[in-house]
A = this chain, B = another copy of it.
Amino acid sequence: MSNKQIIGFDADDTLWENEVFFHKAQMKFIELHPHIKDPEEVIFQIEKKNIKFYGYGIKGFILSLLEASVRFSNNKTDFQNIDKIIKIGKDMLAQTIQLLPEVEETLRHLSEHYMLIMITKGDLLDQQRKVEKSGLLKYFSSTEIVSEKDEQTYLEILEKNNISPKDFLMVGNSLKSDVLPVRNIGGTGIYIPHKLTWKHEEVDRTFDLERVVELKTISALKVWLKNQI
């Protein structure tokens, strides 16, 4: 393995905590709406239906929670709940960044040997804010904030940066968004699972494992890369 290789990093739940804040927000929603049956499923179905309108990110999530509150409450919800959900969203948007263990030292080390790119999806302003607050910007040659992480998106990023897919490794916690599309265009997907992964990102695990690597932690990347030489 030579330094010609470029490493892409997902950010949410790969570099810093993210899904946990959605999870906590959902728990608060459920507490506020004890009358909604199977609330996780109600929220998931509304979010899924709304992705084509809202895309990924906190604002769309909050709009979906508001829709769930109004539409599945049979008028049992009250206005304070609407106000509280809006407040939950603002708290999420103002949330401080919690880096995952060993992220900073791993990036510091890798940035001395490889070109690193951050590739993240979601709300533009919110993702920019997180990137800036994280203090990790200095380790990356560039950051790409995209609305969807599919084969086409990765091909465009690689073309723009003049990178051949065979020299590209993508590290992330989502098989659907980080690993499989990169594997499908001829790159290598490095899967580092996070204990919480959004249901929308789950895929059937019966895929061909060629050029897919699973590591337990981000710090294992250094060792894995060394062994590839």
Interface residues, chain A, with chain B CB atoms under 8 Å away: 50, 53-55, 59-60, 62-63, 66-67, 69-71, 73, 75, 77, 79, 82-83, 86, 89-90, 93-94, 123-126, 128, 145-147
Contacts and interface: CB of A to CB of B under 8 A. Distances in A.
A147 B122 CA distance: 13
- The binding surface of chain A is classed by DSSP as helix
A89 B10 CA distance: 30
B59 A70 contact: no
A55 B89 contact: no
A89 B60 CA distance: 11
B70 A79 contact: yes
Contact of A145 (B69, B73, B82, B124): B124
A93 B54 contact: yes
Given A55-B123, A90-B53, A145-B124, A83 B62 contact: no
Contacts of A124: 55, 123-124, 145-147
Contact of A79 (B60, B77, B123, B126): B77
Contacts of A126: 55
Q: Closest 6 CB pairs between A and B?
A: A55-B125, A59-B59, A125-B147, A124-B124, A53-B93, A70-B82
Contacts of A53: 89-90, 93-94
- Between A54, A77, A124, the greatest number of chain B beta carbons within 10 A of the residue's beta carbon is seen for A124
Nearest to A127: B124
Contacts of A54: 59, 93, 125
B66 A59 contact: no
A172 B86 CA distance: 33
A60 B124 CA distance: 12
B66 A82 contact: yes
A111 to B, nearest CB: 20
Nearest to A71: B83
Given A53-B94, A54-B93, A63-B89, 15 more contacts: A50-B90, A53-B89, A53-B90, A53-B93, A54-B125, A59-B63, A63-B63, A66-B82, A66-B86, A69-B82, A70-B86, A123-B124, A124-B124, A124-B147, A128-B147
